[in-house]
Amino acid sequence: MIKIKELTKSKVIEVVAIYKEHDKKDSEIIKKVYTKFYSKPKKQRGTNIKDYILIEDKEIIGFSGFNKEETETKDIFWLNWTAIKKGHEQKGYGKILLKHILKELKKRKGRKLYVSTSSKNTNANEFYKSIGFNKEAQLKDYYKKGEDSIILSINV
């Protein structure tokens, strides 16, 4: 049985381990950011950032979340780090997570959800496009020479 729950401090290490399977360098950044954020009392975290874990048979197999744009455009959100555990990819779990996030954003009267990916990450780019995301921009050599940032969005 599949469940989606909010990420908690006690589950940060498991989420970091999943991301480390895909990107060791960024997993260290996630560890620092999530440990600091989820160490705060829930009331201090506010409601502009939410992360979720996808659980199947008591095992965390994926995670994702969103954060609200802190500008005059109050209905714009960005997708947070997203990953599915190796061996569980391409089984629909990513779509389940994204559908959950889009449903949450509708409740918050969100208008658009953005995500930024590397031009080298063809699997992620194809996945987001399959859900209905459209390319909005490409930032040339953003990560390094020859590796652009692709900005995609979907209407909520």
Neighbouring CB atoms inside 10 A of 127's CB total 19
Q: From 3.40.50.1820, 3.30.70.260, 3.40.630.30, 3.60.15.10, which CATH number describes the 2-110 domain?
A: 3.40.630.30
Beta bridge partners of 16: none
Query: Which pLDDT score, from 0 to 100, does residue 141 have?
Result: 97
pLDDT tens-digit map of 44-103: 888 889 999 999 999 999 999 999 977 778 899 999 999 999 999 999 999 999 999 999
Counted residue by residue, the chain has a size of 156
Indicate the pTM of the whole model: 0.92
Instruction: Tell which phi-psi region holds residue 132, choosing left (phi > 0), alpha (psi between -120 and 50) or beta.
Output: left
Query: Which pLDDT score, from 0 to 100, does residue 69 have?
Result: 76
**Mean per-residue pLDDT over the chain, rounded:** 94
In the chain, where the domains are located: 2-110
